[in-house]
Chain A
Amino acid sequence: MIRLLPRDRMIWLAAPALVYLAFFYAMPLVYLLGRSVIGPNGPTLSLFANFFADDYNWRVIGNTLRIALLVTLVSLVIGYPVALALARARGLAQVMLLTAIILPLSVGVVVKAFAWQIVLRRDGAIAQLLVATGIWDEPQRLLFTEPGLVIGAANVFLPFMILPIYSVVKLIDPRLSEAGATLGASPFYRFRKIILPLTMPGLISGMAFVFSLSVSMFVIPSLLMGDRFQTLATLTGRSFLLMRNEALGSATAVVLLVLAVSIVVGSTILSRRIGRAA
């Protein structure tokens, strides 16, 4: 006889979440998907054909991926050392670091975005610093530029990079690095051959988090870049809210979803493979 029910009853603990997601996530998505493939005269892919035929939309996809990739890289470069330090910190230092990482999540993105407008202005703190250190000859405006957007978005998403890496790093036995040292490995070699491979699963999930948050962010690019610069998410928002073009909105939403899903699934498979090899 074929068992239809899973052997492990613990799996039922996931049931409430599944029901919740089915109602509030899957159903609207199915509706959205339906809107994007059903035209006035029955099922059609013409919406996507039109969408991909337009050069502007390719630029939007390019914007989306480029910004998300840059935000992920910046978060990684800033977040990885923090995660290592956080795992090594003890007592009050650790509590303070964790608070510093998590507390900013409680400040709304809108508030932060307005704060960056101050920091990223032509006479803002960053411009002044770069001029003072001689990197820039004269103050420039970062606001409404891509670097400004990347800096701002990385700031918001940094905790989602740090925390998954931290949770992996803190499980690594500190003796492993010591063992490497007594075997003659330099600090850099130890990092490359011990710490980096062992933190890879956390690194991948942190990157997946930040990337999927970045491809779909709406408020941050709206406030830091404005309407001239469109990503799939802002275009989706505009289609529904401003242009009342639900068909275009559904198409962009579906393209965005496909991108996000392939990244999450891909990274999960990758980290499982690395986890098995490790």
Chain B
Amino acid sequence: MNPAPFLDIRKASKDFGAGPVLDGVDLAVTRGEFISLLGPSGCGKTTLLRIIAGLASADGGSVTLDGQDISRLPPHRRDVGVVFQNYALFPHLTVAENIAFGLRAKGAPAAEISATVERFLALIHMTAFADRSVKALSGGQQQRVAVARALATKPKLLLLDEPFSALDRKLRETMQIDLRRLLRELGTTSIFVTHDQDEALIMSDRIAVMNRGRIEQLDTPEAIYARPATPFALEFVGLSTRIAGTVTEYDPAGTIMVETPLGRLRSRGRFEVGSPVLLGIRPERIRFGPAGGENVVAPVLADIVFQGARIQAHFASPDDRPVMIETSGALPAGLAAGSPVTISFAVEDTIAYPLAAA
């Protein structure tokens, strides 16, 4: 028997009047876990976050935290901390006063408040800024204060709503690692909303890929990257080469033959002969030349994109779906745009998804 999950969301649904924003979402989170809700804007991830915090009401479903049904509790009785996208620091208070706010609201003794504030100021390396106005801080500093403020009350659960989106790229990466380390040290169970797949891959224990009000896949970053469960997960997380085709052969061992505009390709799965499928391959699993594996095609090279450590080769595609290789090594000599190049990939790396008939 599994122990009951620390946070258990059942059938959460929400409709603002223009179709469901959340379509019966289930999510179970273990104590101490860091989960990302990853998806494009409008997928319902922020709505789910606000429902967990009690800032929005669900039309249906339940939220259970640490064995207590909190679905009907107002936000200030839920013990759920939130780091807002714009941080929402109190502009009339100093850094220390912002961090102390939650403890003061809960009527903690003065000695405990000042000890906690000092500890968190040290944790976010901002002891020297204690008496500064929060308006005078940089974006990165504001974000750290917002995190410290949310954690100072020792919430059972911390929710983070795109807390890095306002920061520049360089700063973002170090802050992601710092935040992850801090939360791990404190053992805080966290749910992190983001549309940035890199962020989700770097930080998460597990990722929930969300699309159109549903969780399409909930798994570790490695598993989601290696075996995306749906075409959406394939497309949204990481880069992919995608080729549409029709199943022409199926054998009971689970191997299928797919007729595509680029040629006949093999994959695995249970599909009826004649059904349309989408084949997905991670670009770094594709090799130049016929040596890489069992699926060999020769599309026309369109473009070479240099990205520093990695190089991408883009090929002309029969439909608008991308066909590309990504390699960290050198490109073979003599590549010229406009001429066909032989590339190959393993059957194991070729993932087939059912495709709605066009």
Contact = CB atoms under 8 A, between A and B. Distances in A.
B76 A185 contact: yes
Interface stretch (A14-22, A152-160, A186-194): A186-194
B102 A175 contact: no
A174 to B, nearest CB: 9
A182 interface: yes
Contact of B90 (A176, A181, A182, A184): A176
Contacts of B155: 182
Nearest to A175: B88
A277 B92 contact: yes
A179 interface: yes
Contacts of B169: none
Contacts of A198: 91-92
Interface string B81-106: 11010101111100000000110111
A189 B105 contact: yes
Contacts of A278: 91-92
A197 B94 CA distance: 14
B91 A182 contact: no
Contact of A184 (B55, B76, B89, B91): B76
A180 interface: yes
A165 B104 CA distance: 27
Nearest to B106: A184
Contacts of B55: 178, 181-182
**Range of interface residues on B (Cβ < 8 Å):** 20 to 34
B81 A183 contact: yes
A251 B153 CA distance: 61
Nearest to B74: A181
A75 B253 CA distance: 82
Interface residues on A, range: 20 to 34
A183 B80 CA distance: 8
Contacts of A55: none
B84 to A, nearest CB: 5
Given A178-B55, A178-B75, A277-B92, A184 B84 contact: no
B138 to A, nearest CB: 19
Interface string A161-183: 00000000000010110111111
A37 to B, nearest CB: 45
B33 interface: no
18 contacts: A173-B86, A173-B88, A176-B91, A178-B55, A179-B89, A180-B105, A181-B54, A182-B54, A182-B55, A182-B81, A182-B82, A183-B76, A184-B105, A184-B106, A185-B102, A186-B76, A186-B105, A187-B76
User: Top 8 nearest A-B pairs by Cβ distance?
Assistant: A183-B102, A185-B105, A175-B88, A278-B92, A181-B75, A179-B88, A182-B82, A181-B76
Interface of B: 53-55, 74-82, 84, 86, 88-92, 101-102, 104-106, 149-150, 153, 155, 159
Interface of A: 173, 175-176, 178-187, 189, 193-194, 197-198, 277-278
Given A173-B86, A182-B155, A182-B159, 17 more contacts: A175-B84, A176-B90, A178-B88, A180-B105, A181-B75, A181-B76, A182-B75, A182-B81, A183-B149, A184-B76, A184-B106, A185-B102, A186-B105, A187-B76, A197-B92, A198-B92, A277-B92
